[in-house]
Amino acid sequence: MKRLVIALGGNALGSNPQEQLELVKHTAKTIVNLSNEGYNIVVTHGNGPQVGMINLAMDFAANKGANTPSMPFAECGSMSQGYIGYHLQQSIENELKSRKVDKNVATVITQVIVDKNDEAFKYLTKPVGMFYTKEESEKIAKEKGFTFVEDAGRGYRRVVASPQPVKIVELDTVKQLADSGTIVITVGGGGIPVIDRGEGILQGVDAVIDKDKSSAKLAKDLEADMLVILTAAEKVYINFNKDNQQGLDFMNLKDASKYINEGHFAKGSMLPKIEACIDFVNSSTNKKALITSLEKAKDALEGKTGTLIYNDWFVKRILNIMIIWIIFRILFMYKQGYIFNHLK
């Protein structure tokens, strides 16, 4: 049974609980369709709007007179994993039951270890939480040691690190569940970022791990056959939104790197997805990644649409084997006199 790690984009979840609860019903149909096709499914998801909403609510309550305690960002991330996982899990279970399919679904609250010496902790770039005035941000920065930046004339926002994922803490649990045939929801929002203080003692940190990078890490660790990134676009485009826009059916690693260097992919949207696919495909000679829309996932897996990212080393190896076989066959026929007999 082929194993897919499916990374859901924001369009699969919406931006508030009410919208999300409706959208995940459609998301569940796609996931169950693929499961019924015989794929072993592991689902990951983003949490940008959701963790932002939670963080905003907690910040507002703590700083605007409600006298509630300030909530660390790692805890906000874990809350978002819980309620997004609950919506997805319930919707997938309901869809399975409506089709009379007996299959388990489980959400794993997932921690991801990051390196405390990651350069990202020196250069904070990820805006989170609510907007403050300059005076408010300076006061909070003095009290709590937070870093703030001015955000496009809208006020000041806190910024946190975006480090690389190093190790998925609950990997063994996820693997055991997936091996048993359970549809697993994990690494929500890239995982709850934690550091190892020594001897396996973990501690949450204020950071955001890119969801696509963690999904690629998970796919490698689970030895998945394919990483599938579902987004709003049916396929990857170069010269996007220009007169010479071109959709790509296939992309090898060399071309992917070339297009990145030429600036074809936006930093906050398609670029991290392409980089995640390169990371996964590079991990083995026969791994493939697929980028397509939620609605076209089944068609894309059948080769009808989407953009397939592959390692051309594998293709070249097959071609070399075929060439060697053809040469060997010609020599064999020559030795046996078949060619001369045919010419006569």
For residues 257 and 47, the model is more confident at 257
Catalytic residue among 129, 190, 211, 287: 211
Could you tell me the pLDDT band of residue 338, with boundaries at 50, 70 and 90?
A: low
Q: Is 11 a catalytic residue?
A: yes
Q: Is the pLDDT of residue 339 over 60?
A: no
**What pLDDT is recorded for position 281?**
96
CB atoms within 10 A of CB 93: 17
**What pLDDT is recorded for position 197?**
93
**What pLDDT is recorded for position 111?**
98
Q: Is 14 a catalytic residue?
A: no
Catalytic residue among 9, 40, 126, 213: 126
Could you tell me the pLDDT band of residue 12, with boundaries at 50, 70 and 90?
A: confident
Q: Is the pLDDT of residue 337 over 90?
A: no
Sheet holding 126-132, edge to edge: 126-132, 156-160, 148-150
Catalytic residue among 10, 46, 48, 85: 10
CB–CB of 160/107 below 8 Å? no
Q: Is 175 a catalytic residue?
A: no
Q: Enter the DSSP assignment of 298.
A: H
- Tokens 């060399």 sit on residue: 254
* 3 state SS for 182-195: CEEECCHHHCEEEE
pLDDT digits (tens, 9 = 90+) for 280-300: 999 887 899 999 999 999 999
Q: Is the pLDDT of residue 55 over 90?
A: no
Sign of the four-CA dihedral 159, 267, 235, 190: negative
Catalytic residue among 213, 235, 273, 287: 273
- Tokens 């990820």 sit on residue: 126
59 closest CA partner among 5, 137, 7: 137
Residues 6+ apart with CB under 8 A from 206: 72, 73, 74, 160, 161, 193
- Highest mean pLDDT, choosing among 120-124, 224-228, 293-297: 224-228
**What pLDDT is recorded for position 10?**
75
Could you tell me the pLDDT band of residue 49, with boundaries at 50, 70 and 90?
A: confident
Q: Which fold has domain 3-113+168-312?
A: Carbamate kinase (3.40.1160)
Whole-structure pTM value: 0.85
Q: Is the pLDDT of residue 67 over 60?
A: yes
Task: Sketch the domain layout of the chain as residue ranges.
Answer: 3-113+168-312, 313-344
Region 227-243 average pLDDT: 94
**What pLDDT is recorded for position 246?**
96
Q: Is 211 a catalytic residue?
A: yes
Q: Is the pLDDT of residue 267 over 90?
A: no
Q: Is the pLDDT of residue 330 over 80?
A: no
213 closest CA partner among 274, 150, 144, 156: 274
**What pLDDT is recorded for position 219?**
98
Beta bridge partners of 105: 183
Q: Are strands 148-150 and 307-310 parallel, antiparallel or unpaired?
A: unpaired
Q: Residue 145 in 3-state DSSP?
A: coil
Region 93-101 average pLDDT: 98
Q: Is 77 a catalytic residue?
A: no
CB atoms within 10 A of CB 238: 18
Could you tell me the pLDDT band of residue 302, with boundaries at 50, 70 and 90?
A: very high
CB–CB of 148/156 below 8 Å? yes
Region 127-137 average pLDDT: 84
74 closest CA partner among 206, 242, 229: 206
For residues 131 and 209, the model is more confident at 209
140 closest CA partner among 197, 231, 244, 64: 64
For residues 332 and 263, the model is more confident at 263
